[in-house]
Chain A
Amino acid sequence: MTNHMIDLKNTNAALIMGSNMAENHPIGMKWLMKGRFDPKRQTKIIHVDPRFTRTSAVADIYCPIRSGTDIAFLGGMVKYIIDNELYHKDYVVNYTNAAFLIRDDFDFKDGLFSGWNPEKRSYDVSSWDYKYDESGNIMRDETLQDPRCVFQLMKKHYSRYDIDTVCSITGSPKKKYEEVLKSYCSTGAPDKTGCINYAMGITQHTVGAQNVKAFTVVQLLLGNMGRPGGGINALRGENNVQGATDMALLFHILPGYIDSPTASDAYKDLISYIRKTTPGVSKLPFTNLTELRALVAAGVKYSGWKIHTSKWIVSLLKAWYGDAATEANDFGYHYIPKRQDTKNYSHIALFEAMHKGEIDGLFINGSNPVVGGPNANKEQTALTKLKWMVSIDLWLNESAEFWSHTAWERAVNNDKVQRLTPKNIDTEVFFLPAAAVYEKEGTAAQTGRWVQFRWKGADPVGDSKADLWIYNELGKRLKALYADSTRPEDEPITKLTWDYDGHPGEEEPDILKVANELCGYTIADGKPVEGFALLKDDGSTACGNWIYCGGTTFKDGKMVYKPMLRKKEDPSGLGLFPNWGWAWPVNRRIIYNRCSVQPDGVTPWPGDEDRRLVWWDAADGAGAWAGHDVPDFIKTTGPDKPAFKDPFIMRPEGKGCLFATTSSFKDGPFPEHYEPWESPVAPIINKQAINPAAKVWEPDKQGKAEEFPIIATTYRVTEHWQTGALTRNLPWLAELMPNMFVELSEELAREKGIKNGSKVIVSTTRGDIEALACVTKRFKPFKVGGKEVHQIGMLWQFGFKGYATGDIANRLTPHIGDANTMCPEYKAFLCDIRRA
């Protein structure tokens, strides 16, 4: 979330798309309802979803949409905004790259952008860039009239997305679509803000990242970014998925969203790494950090805040390898693994590799891929190819017992689906019982980046242990195993700092030791570094994750871990609660908040005085940024500096990107609608069947509309959470949703002779499942490209363990992911349904 949960009360309109917010983020509805009853806001709740859900039930407007057509829907919105001049002009000109000119060789034709390489099925992105003048400045036209400016290119790009075309793609009733356009686009008025709340309904597509990009375009045009009640709010599903991402439990990044190195020239040593990952320095002459520091001090054009990357990586290395990290050995840069440059290591790739027998050992840290992974039949089979597996969880979930007899029971005999028995599965499984959330202590970062501490309220059950204890113990044992090694390849372990034990006699590790390392300390005295601006790249500071820097402080001779703060004050009345917990970065609650004030830095947007978050305070010494929130801006950047009007400090050009330049996206600088991998209709708006840059793993598993004419999607219900391990084992939740079911329209049920509550079989090319039918008025057939298509929906939260059981919906989903993120396309695939 660029904003945060409580901020939802400040919005005039909330577009909920690809999210069933009332069910999956119920507390968000609390704040939207506050807005609805606040006479100043009168929040309109707009829900766009294939199915009428409990969110739709309380929404002001509900508009159906066929799964996987969000870009068409939003593209039409962009066109509507431009055609009706509903955009926030001052905002667009000053805070976005609308006025920037794009290279002349950039082009778009037949659904393909310039630079397409059909052999490699990828783009050469060099033409997707700004035009620079002789002095290296980006060329711009603030009148937005130049045909090569982003605004005009965008207008041209979306000119094809007229309402009728959009509705023929999305299947939305025209009247409802127009209602949505009218209601939401009214937030382009300077005194109004609107927020977009989304979840996996947006990202779990082959065009997932571009779906979000389309939100960016809409929100930037309407001037809704960086302002209270605005923003693009990813409603994250797991309580600390934000933190896990921050800590880089992902192959492509290191903690704090800096690149993970690859085995390539660009990452071959620390200086190369810095050159590659720091914007604006690639062509500058430097061979060591001292030279770089001098260049940075002199100023680097188009670099943004990421100019400090060297400080972040060096401090990270110091935190991990301590005294062994010196300038002489690149601060231990080589201890960090370098992945293969062209290889993908994401979830789908990981299981594809495992399925081929390329992986021997697997750690499952509170996860359940047998239920939650796409193409679960395949992922379950992949687990049998492991030599050993460690599962850490509270319960024996489906993945921990993938080898059991029940795990291989199937409702339908399908010779394409492998069936095994425990006897022929040779994987050793170690199950480590973990303590529940309130049986241990630690912090979690919620969806609005607020980091809050959880105290221990009960003892762990039986012999179960906190995960922190488990990892600490394992780390200690590994270090002991390698203690005598002198081999250079074992140095990453032998040199690793690993000192988290509590006071003598205490069994639990000292969480504050971890916190101190994570949030950063000065090597000399071990005291907290008070903010990431103070991190150094000379080895004098250590910080495990630069974005968490400032989360600790030293007060009255004691370390204070700011997530523990529980002061409930909200001076601004905007729900920022600056002393409740701590938010990264540097306790900033709404990012890009420079946008909440006019370009002059002082005047609020007309009619919107009470939503100004930050401002330039000329009276403060030589002038400084101040405000209700921590300014998302360099404190001393005053009106005399060129960057004064550049609110997006993480971007090299400082602007919000309507046009995504060069390597930002693999599949295009503007979002373009492509059909899902499995779609019941031929492409309507362009000539491409699917997102051309998406990697197809299993071409033979693509379901065809002739055999599988029904669109299927998966989702959750409020009563269960994710794979259900943490809810299907709770009797109070099991009773609310006791069995797996499939929702289908009354029309389809009639056609197939399916009775409500009866058993049905759903099949795709990947497998079959049995479920109970939930025949409902809340699903209606779509009219797409002139023909009627049916869509059904399934819960993906069931499995064979726990109090509430049912077949695993992901046995049906495909192994195909988004072109950028590899997020699997769970939300739109083809199936057939019949009576059991």
Chain B
Amino acid sequence: MANMTNLYDSSICTACRACQVACKNWNQLPASIKPFKGNYQTHEDTDGDTYTIVLMNEVDNAAHGVDWNFAKFQCMHCFDAACMKVCPKGAYTKTEWGATIHDPDKCIGCQYCTYACPFGVPKHRKREDKIAKCTLCADRVTEGLAPACATTCAPGALRFGDRDELIEYARERVKSLQANGYPNATIYGINELGGLNKLYILTDTPDKFGLPVNPQTYGTINFWQNWVQPYFGWLIPVALGASAVSFVTTRLMADKHQDHPVEGGHE
């Protein structure tokens, strides 16, 4: 099944943040007004009412003087999704086309996913005590529409389509960028975390955009999910089982030594 995703091109994005508003418009999200802190990027992170933001980073660049790097940031819809791994209620599912969908009806607001996510994307929405995050506009895509963010993007920095085809296009584009003053241009999302269902064309290395260079699922999460949850838990039934066996065997043995009064201890 083909994976459908957004390709974001940082060389085209003007950071108008229409995607951010269109997302709120489509997903019926209230504003979360926070004070200005000295950067155009007013939201430092996604929150329960903000599924997507645009990262803005000013970087000195010897060749250009200054670069103002933009990167749309939202759920990366990782193929190997940590949120899905840790969710105790199985609220996360993966669609056939690669979106990681969170079901608020199953969510109990425990926020494990928030901290498990290498990008810290899923966020707690206080008024409902549920997690909320980007759905890749699954409701739109299922009906044949592109996601709200990609639909509204004026300069065309967001393209929605078949992941493999987008990767092919991105490779060409990055080559051209590398030849035209952006030697560090790169694609982000092909292999990171075993593949993201979000792709980025970056004009520089990911760290210059505020993206983790080599995102990893946290070791503690892996330990927990791969060892603790599946194996350690068996200790409990083992303990219960042993008690049950003991319950029987001690009484059987006691029957053999009828000469000893039980009440004073078994000896």
A–B contact at 8 Å CB threshold (below): yes
Which residue on chain B has the smallest CB distance to residue A30?
B154
A718 within 8 A of B: yes
B39 within 8 A of A: yes
B42 within 8 A of A: yes
The answer to whether residues A29 and B32 also contact, given A735-B43, A772-B38, A774-B39 and a CB cut-off of 8 A, is no
Complex Cα distance, B155 from A30, in Å, reads 4
The answer to whether residues A736 and B155 also contact, given A757-B38, A776-B58, A804-B33 and a CB cut-off of 8 A, is no
Complex Cα distance, B36 from A732, in Å, reads 15
Among B12, B24, B36, B70, the one with the most A-chain Cβ atoms within 10 Å of its Cβ is B36
A738 to B58, Cβ gap below 8 A? no
B14 to A54, Cβ gap below 8 A? yes
Segment of A20-28, A363-371, A458-466 engaged in the interface with chain B:
A20-28
A57 within 8 A of B: yes
- Residues of chain A lying within 8 A (CB to CB) of residue B13: 58
A52 within 8 A of B: yes
Besides the known contacts A719-B17, A775-B38, 19 further A-B residue pairs in the complex with CB atoms under 8 A apart: A26-B16, A26-B18, A26-B154, A34-B156, A52-B68, A62-B64, A718-B14, A735-B42, A736-B17, A737-B40, A738-B33, A756-B39, A757-B36, A757-B37, A774-B36, A777-B58, A778-B66, A803-B33, A804-B33
Taking a contact as CB atoms closer than 8 A, the residue among B12, B25, B42, B68 that contacts A738 in the complex is B42
Q: Which are the 3 A-B pairs with shortest beta-carbon distances?
A: A757-B38, A731-B31, A756-B38
Which residue on chain A has the smallest CB distance to residue B11?
A58
A734 within 8 A of B: yes
Work out how many contacts link A and B, with CB atoms closer than 8 A: 107
Which residue on chain B has the smallest CB distance to residue A776?
B58
- Residues of chain B lying within 8 A (CB to CB) of residue A731: 30-31, 33
Taking a contact as CB atoms closer than 8 A, the residue among A717, A718, A741, A778 that contacts B68 in the complex is A778
A789 within 8 A of B: no
Within 8 A of B (CB), among A23-42: 23, 26-27, 29-30, 33-34
19 examples of A-B residue contacts, CB within 8 angstroms:
A23-B16, A26-B16, A26-B154, A29-B155, A54-B14, A58-B12, A58-B13, A62-B64, A717-B40, A718-B16, A732-B24, A735-B32, A736-B20, A738-B36, A756-B38, A772-B36, A772-B38, A774-B36, A778-B68
Complex Cα distance, B22 from A615, in Å, reads 44
Which residue on chain A has the smallest CB distance to residue B21?
A732
Within 8 A of A (CB), among B62-79: 64-68, 70
Q: Nearest-CB distance from A807 to chain B (Å)? A: 13
Which residue on chain B has the smallest CB distance to residue A737?
B42
Q: Which residues of B contact A (CB under 8 A)?
A: 11-18, 20-21, 24-25, 30-40, 42-43, 50, 58, 60, 64-68, 70, 154-156
Among B42, B50, B70, the one with the most A-chain Cβ atoms within 10 Å of its Cβ is B42
Which residue on chain B has the smallest CB distance to residue A717?
B40
The answer to whether residues A54 and B68 also contact, given A26-B18, A735-B32 and a CB cut-off of 8 A, is yes
Among A33, A719, A735, the one with the most B-chain Cβ atoms within 10 Å of its Cβ is A735
A734 to B33, Cβ gap below 8 A? yes
Q: Nearest-CB distance from A797 to chain B (Å)? A: 13
Interface size counted on chain A using CB atoms at 8 A: 41
Among B11, B16, B18, B58, the one with the most A-chain Cβ atoms within 10 Å of its Cβ is B16
Complex Cα distance, B24 from A731, in Å, reads 11
B21 to A57, Cβ gap below 8 A? no
A738 to B155, Cβ gap below 8 A? no
Q: Which residues of A contact B (CB under 8 A)?
A: 22-23, 26-27, 29-30, 33-34, 52, 54-58, 62, 717-719, 731-739, 741, 756-758, 772-778, 780, 803-804
The answer to whether residues A30 and B156 also contact, given A735-B32, A772-B38 and a CB cut-off of 8 A, is yes
B68 to A56, Cβ gap below 8 A? yes
Taking a contact as CB atoms closer than 8 A, the residue among B24, B34, B36, B66 that contacts A777 in the complex is B66
Taking a contact as CB atoms closer than 8 A, the residue among A26, A739, A803 that contacts B35 in the complex is A739
Which residue on chain A has the smallest CB distance to residue B41?
A736
- Residues of chain A lying within 8 A (CB to CB) of residue B66: 52, 777-778
The answer to whether residues A29 and B154 also contact, given A57-B15, A736-B17 and a CB cut-off of 8 A, is yes
B16 to A33, Cβ gap below 8 A? no
Complex Cα distance, B156 from A756, in Å, reads 32
B70 to A738, Cβ gap below 8 A? no
Q: Nearest-CB distance from B156 to chain A (Å)? A: 5
Complex Cα distance, B12 from A717, in Å, reads 18
Complex Cα distance, B50 from A619, in Å, reads 63
- Residues of chain A lying within 8 A (CB to CB) of residue B33: 731, 734-735, 738, 803-804
A733 to B34, Cβ gap below 8 A? no
- Residues of chain A lying within 8 A (CB to CB) of residue B34: 735, 738
The answer to whether residues A33 and B58 also contact, given A22-B14, A731-B30, A778-B66 and a CB cut-off of 8 A, is no
Complex Cα distance, B24 from A33, in Å, reads 26
Taking a contact as CB atoms closer than 8 A, the residue among A22, A756, A777 that contacts B155 in the complex is A22
- Residues of chain A lying within 8 A (CB to CB) of residue B16: 22-23, 26, 54, 718-719
Q: Nearest-CB distance from A219 to chain B (Å)? A: 25
